[in-house]
Every structure is written in structure tokens, then in C-alpha cells.
């Protein structure tokens, strides 16, 4: 097994991990709203978090320049 695949995080992997987590937050938005009780039970934490995740996903993608830069520095896990 290639040690890089288990020990290093490149730009594409980082983007995909973030995208997966953001999608999960968006999927459970209503459940998060039901959990929202502190400090004010306004029931919009899930909505606010999902909105932020959608915005970030809309503005980001895996570009070659970012991917190359991150691949060259190779961030260890």
C-alpha cells in the first residue's frame, strides 16, 4: 500500500473531505434546528450552518494551482 494514501492529505482530498462534511450538515439541517436550545431556542442553528456550508461550496472548487501547491507541501495527517 502506498504510504502517501494513508499518511498525507493533498488538496483534492481536503476539498472532498470538507465537501462531504458540508453535505452531511446540509442533509441534517432540520435535525440541527431541533437541537438548538442554547443560548436562545430560536431553532435556526442548522439553517445558519447549512447556509454557510452552501456558500462555501458555491465559492470553492479544486483548482490545479491550489492542488499543485498543496500537493507540493503535502500536509501530514
Tell whether 2 is covered by a domain. Answer: no
Tell whether 5 is covered by a domain. Answer: no
Tell whether 43 is covered by a domain. Answer: yes
Task: Using the CB atoms, write b or e for 18-28: b if 16+ within 10 Å.
Answer: ebeebeeebee
Tally of domains in the chain: 1
- What per-residue confidence (pLDDT) applies to 10? 77
Note if the bond before 36 is cis, omega within 30 degrees.
Answer: no
Residue 37 domain boundaries? 30-71
Mean pLDDT by 10 residues, the chain (77 residues): 62 87 96 83 90 92 58 56
Tell whether 54 is covered by a domain. Answer: yes
Tell whether 59 is covered by a domain. Answer: yes
- What per-residue confidence (pLDDT) applies to 72? 58
Amino acid at each position: 500500500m502506498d504510504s502517501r494514501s494513508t499518511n498525507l492529505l493533498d488538496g483534492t482530498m481536503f476539498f472532498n473531505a470538507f465537501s462531504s462534511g458540508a453535505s452531511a450538515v446540509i442533509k441534517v439541517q432540520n435535525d440541527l434546528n431541533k437541537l438548538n436550545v442554547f443560548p436562545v431556542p430560536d431553532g435556526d442553528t442548522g439553517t445558519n450552518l447549512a447556509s454557510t456550508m452552501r456558500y462555501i461550496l458555491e465559492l470553492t472548487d479544486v483548482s490545479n494551482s491550489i492542488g499543485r501547491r498543496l500537493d507540493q507541501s503535502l500536509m501530514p495527517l
